[in-house]
Structure formats: structure tokens, C-alpha cells
Amino acid sequence: MSTALVILAAGKGTRMNSDLPKVLHPIAHAPMLQHALVAGQTLQPERTIVIAGHGAETVRTALAEIDEDVEVIVQEEQLGTAHAVAQARDALAGFAGNIVVLYGDTPFVSADTLERMIEAHSDADLVVLGFTAADPGRYGRLVMDGNSLERIVEYKDATDAERQIDFCNSGLMAGQATQIFDLIDKVDCANASGEYYLTDLVGLARAEGLRVTAISCDEAETLGVNSRVDLAQADQVFQARTRMAMMEDGVTLMAPETVYFAFDTVIGRDSVIEPNVVFGPGVTVESGAQIRAFSHLEGCHVSRGSKVGPYARLRPGAELAEDTHIGNFVEIKNAEIAAGAKVNHLSYIGDASVGEKTNIGAGTITCNYDGVMKHRTEIGARSFIGSNTMLIAPVSVGNEAMTATGTIVTKNIEDGALALGRAEQENKPGRARKLMDILRAKKARLKKGAE
């Protein structure tokens, strides 16, 4: 049976103290809403609907960049969770499949858990996701009778015995679309908050003789984000999970707790990641590469056998072929470094291509920006670029060419040529001593005047 996701993302998130809608606050460089979307996509939904409210246009714009097929419906008044799901009724008119209700601020529900919810729905009309809480606190309690969910009791309404229950409500729910909307029609707002609650569907369903059950997941999957403190905790959860997954997949993390991963980081097995490495969005590191300490990578691709760092920065568009070496205090941006090439020390290579087995000397800069436009530098294979070479783009260096140390390159260098572009050195005998005497005398006069 086909599935539709309905993701509730209308909350203002007052405790975030932010102009940004709560669900767009990032965890590992991706909006928390995107984490929920990705988990939901494992169900291969026919439709995905996000119910937005506060900052709806901002949410719509962000979703267009994440997945243009996601539909956004605005809940003009936030009148509770049942009211929010009801906003999807018209969009799902005629849809006879299942609805899975997710929350944009509950980003860690796993694909496996969602699949188990769908499996449980084959034996029950309504499925609720619960978790066993280490500290149940003020969570709503799930009152079970065997596999049957009798009712959801809010903490304030629970008896002392019910408060001892540690099986708690996550808020997620799955059921057949028409059935869910029919039950929502019967929900009232006769409660202290005057809102329409999705949890009321359990009692209504049982009153109609429908089968209701609850399945359990790990408590960490149900972590909700309502404040900056929660956001930091969520990021820590993501990092811990990702570090463990990386190591289980064959990646060596020398100091796991110091490595920071982005939402979409991909690293091949037998790679070695040294301490204090930061991965921004869009990074792929192939098998057998080494990322050395204190390096920062973003929007780049590192091929098999390459070495990066320490203290290197790879910016968007950096493409490293196999067995390249990028050393300390080197920055690469929008540049292709061919197989076996080396940029080992204190250099900036931007808007450029470097040929195979070429060596870039320390202090080399591709001067790519004229204040308005970016220009490219093309360096051929097996060339040697001397230390402190300034390559004024646009310019090209041929294969097996060489630049002398300190050269300023302003015109193309043909294959096999040596370029020398230094100013002529002139020595002035005795001038250094005279100059130092003048400067010391001036300093003494200034000191005497100050007294």
C-alpha cells in the first residue's frame, strides 16, 4: 500500500529565541527538518506534505532546495496536532494509502523504526510510536493491555499508578488516511489548552472497535528539539552515532570525540582521520585516504590514497585525484589537483588545475581575483613551481615547466620552459649600518621628548 508522510513543522519554537523557524535550525549543517525528511524517504512515500506555520515562506524556500517534490501547506492558526494533520486533508483527497505522521523537530527517528510502524499497521488500524523513558517525567503515558494500546494518558491527568508507567508517547502515528481523517473529525477541544490533540485518536478508534497498538523504539530516536540546549544535545547525539557508524564501516578515527561530521559526510574504509578534523557539507573521502589533524574540509572530493593536512583547508570545488598531498596551511578552492601532485606548504591554489606529479613550492599563490572577476590558472603535468611564485591569472604553465623561486608570472609559460621573474638585486655597501644609526638616533630623540 502506498504511503504519505505528513510532517508537522508549524511550531514557532519560542524557547529557541530566534527569528528562524525552529525546524530550520541546523544539526550537523542540515536543518533538523531535513533529518526527518531523509528518514521518512526510506518508506518511498508517494506524497510528502509538510505542515508549516511560523515562518512558512522561509520553510518553503528551504524545502525547495532540499526536495522540490515536498508539498508545503500552511496552518494559519496553530490549534493542536490533530488540527495540523487535518490541514493535509484536501491535498490527500482520494488518497487511499497510509499516513505516517512525523515531527520536524524530532529528527532522529530511524528508517528501521518507521518500517516497523508500517509492518505493525498490517495487524492494527492505528499504530503509535512509544519509547521506554529513563526518566518519564511529564511525558504522556501509553497504557497497554498486551499488544493493545488502551489509551494515552497525559501526565497531569494520570493516576499515581499510571505515572509509574515508563512507556511514553513520542507523538508519531501511522494509519490509513481516510480512517485518520474520519477520526480527526470527531476530535474536540474540550481541554485546558483548547486545542485538538492527535492523541485523542486512540480513544476514538477504540470506541469504534478499531485495533490500536504501540511499538517501541530507543529513547534517543524520540529526542525533541525545543531550545538551544536541546539543539546542542541533538548535535552531540548525531556526532556520536556518526562516529560509531564510521568506525564500524572501517574508518579509523584516532580521537573520535574530536572529529566533527556533517549530515552528508561520506568516508571510505581504511581511511584515517586524525584528531580535530572538521567536515562541512558535501565532503566525500575515498578509501585509504588520510586526513591529518586540524584540517577543515567542505564541498570537496578526496580520492584514494591522498593525504591532507595537518592544518589544511579544502573549500568547495576542491577535487583531489589519487595519491595527492596537500600539506600544512594550504588552502585549495575550486581547483583540480591531479594524481600524484603535491601542494605541501603554505600555499593558496584557487580557480586552478594542477597536472599530475606537479610540485607546488611553499608560499605559492594563484592570484585569481581582480576585485570583480575570478580567473583561472592552468598548470601542466610534472612541472615544478618554485617557492613564493605568484601566478597572476589568467595564466597557464606548460608540462614539465619550472618557475624560479620568487617569480611573478604574468604571461603563459610553454612546455619545458623555465620562468624567472625577479627584480634585480642590488647591494649597497655600508648602507645598513648607516640606516640603523639614523633609526636609533630618531628613537632616542622621541624617547627624550616624551620625558
List b or e across 26-54, with b for residues whose CB sees 16 or more CB atoms inside 10 angstroms. bbbbbbbbbbbbbbbeebebebbbbbbbb
Cα separation values, 424 from 152, 304, 406, 435, Å: 86, 44, 12, 21
Whether 345 is catalytic is yes
Question: Phi, psi (5° rounding) for residue 57?
Answer: -70, -35
List the one residue out of 251, 256, 254 whose CA is nearest residue 271.
251
Characterize 160-185 residue by residue with b for buried, 16 or more Cβ atoms within 10 angstroms of its Cβ, and e for exposed. eeeeebbbbbbbbbbbbbebbbebbe
Rounded to an integer, what distance in angstroms lies between the CA atom of residue 254 and that of residue 95? Answer: 51
Beta-carbon contacts of 272 under 8 Å, excluding residues fewer than 6 positions away, are 251, 252, 254, 289, 290, 291
Of 35, 54, 345, 375, which one is the catalytic site residue?
345
32-41 helix and 111-121 helix, angle to the nearest 10 degrees:
50
Instruction: Judge contact between 106 and 222, C-beta under 8 A.
Output: yes
448: Cα within 13 Å, side-chain hemisphere: 6
Angle between helices 200-207 and 177-184 (to 10 degrees): 100
* Cell of residue 330, nine digits: 594550504
How many other C-beta atoms lie within 10 A of the C-beta of residue 394? 15
Rounded to 5 degrees, what angle do the CA atoms 401, 402, 403 make? 140
Specify the DSSP class assigned to residue 300.
-
At 207, is the secondary structure helix, strand, or coil? helix
Residues classed as catalytic: 345
